[in-house]
A and B are shown apart, each in its own frame.
Chain A
């Protein structure tokens, strides 16, 4: 994936991930932070407009895909007077390593921020190896 430009503006997705979209509307790449803690990897994505029902997280082989669908806003009897941002769905995929425990993935959404916690697999955790004297 191309690096995200250092701009605060929403970035349109280069192309829907190897699939044709049947749903009209724009797709954006959510901006993310990935931080590693002692026993997990935490992925934090800004996805304003989504809630826990409209986010999907799938893990297929080693590709973790996050998608979020956002309903366009329409206000009755109002016309758009000024627009600075577009509304659309979110989609982004990540390749994860074998170090992640596939069954230990947890996610939550609050205030338009998605947080996915990927627990590290037992074998990936640093272990102290005792050396025995010969």
Chain B
């Protein structure tokens, strides 16, 4: 069937960033459905930019000085532990939903990470890592010399 309008709709989508984003969000929503059962701890969100990626993780109540972050090539690993104060004598739990222990997560990114320039920030229980791309991975503008 000849539908001349179809391609134009496809192109038009790209000119509305919000619609494009909505489409990406929907794709992600469905692509990640099966993981609902077993999730790794901590849960992470990753944001991609031209020069770097930003990773955030919800890690309430940890000691940031005991967080171990390492970068090798395109692989990032961060590990740490969440400790709990033990109950004193005569204290009891009425409800215990929070849990502690050690955690470790490894993530492979689609580029080489500039390990020297990785920055980490821990604020309000959220860990934020900025992972810059190495110079070789960054987009470069090539100028055309006129003869």
A residues with CB within 8 A of B? 4, 7-10, 31-38, 41, 44, 46-51, 73, 75, 77-85, 110-113
Contact A7 B45 (CB under 8 A): no
Contacts of B32 in A (CB 8 A): 83-84
Question: Taking CB as reference atom, which chain A residue is nearest B127?
Answer: A48
- Chain B interface SS verdict (over half): mixed
Q: How far is the CA of A61 from the CA of B94 in the complex (A)?
A: 21
Question: Contact between B61 and A46 (Cβ–Cβ < 8 Å)?
Answer: yes
Q: Is the CB of A35 within 8 A of B94?
A: yes
How would residues 89 to 131 of chain B score, 1 for a CB under 8 Å from any chain A CB and 0 otherwise? 0111111111100000000000000000000001011100000
Interface residues on B, range: 35 or more
Q: Provide the residues of chain B in CB contact with A81, threshold 8 Å.
A: 46-48, 53
Q: Which residues of B contact A47 (CB under 8 A)?
A: 60, 125
Contact of A113 among B35, B54, B61, B87 (CB under 8 A): B61
Interface flag for B39 (CB, 8 Å): yes
Residue from A8, A41, A51, A111 with most neighbouring chain B CB atoms (10 Å) = A111
Q: Given A34-B95, A36-B92, A75-B54, 15 other A-B contacts at CB below 8 A? A: A8-B43, A32-B95, A33-B95, A35-B91, A35-B93, A36-B91, A37-B91, A48-B126, A51-B124, A75-B47, A75-B49, A78-B53, A79-B21, A81-B48, A84-B43
> Complex formed: what's the CA distance from A80 to B45 in Å?
8
Which B1-49 residues sit within 8 Å CB-CB of chain A?
21, 24-25, 28, 32, 35-36, 39-41, 43-49
Q: How far is the CA of A8 from the CA of B98 in the complex (A)?
A: 9
Whether A85 pairs with B124 at a CB distance below 8 angstroms is no
Q: Across the interface, which residues of B come within 8 angstroms of A4, CB to CB?
A: 97
Q: Which residues of A contact B44 (CB under 8 A)?
A: 82, 84-85
Complex Cα distance, B105 from A84, in Å, reads: 13
Asked if B81 is at the interface (CB within 8 A of a chain A CB), the reply is: no
- CB-CB under 8 A from A113, the residues of chain B are 60-61, 125
Closest 5 CB pairs of A and B: A112-B125, A48-B125, A112-B60, A85-B43, A84-B43
B39 touches A7 (CB 8 A): yes
Chain B residues whose CB sits within 8 angstroms of the CB of A83 once the complex forms? 28, 32, 45-46
Residues of the A chain whose Cβ atoms lie less than 8 Å from the Cβ of B43: 8-10, 84-85
B17: nearest chain-A partner, CB-CB: A79
Bound-state CA distance A48–B123 (Å) is: 9
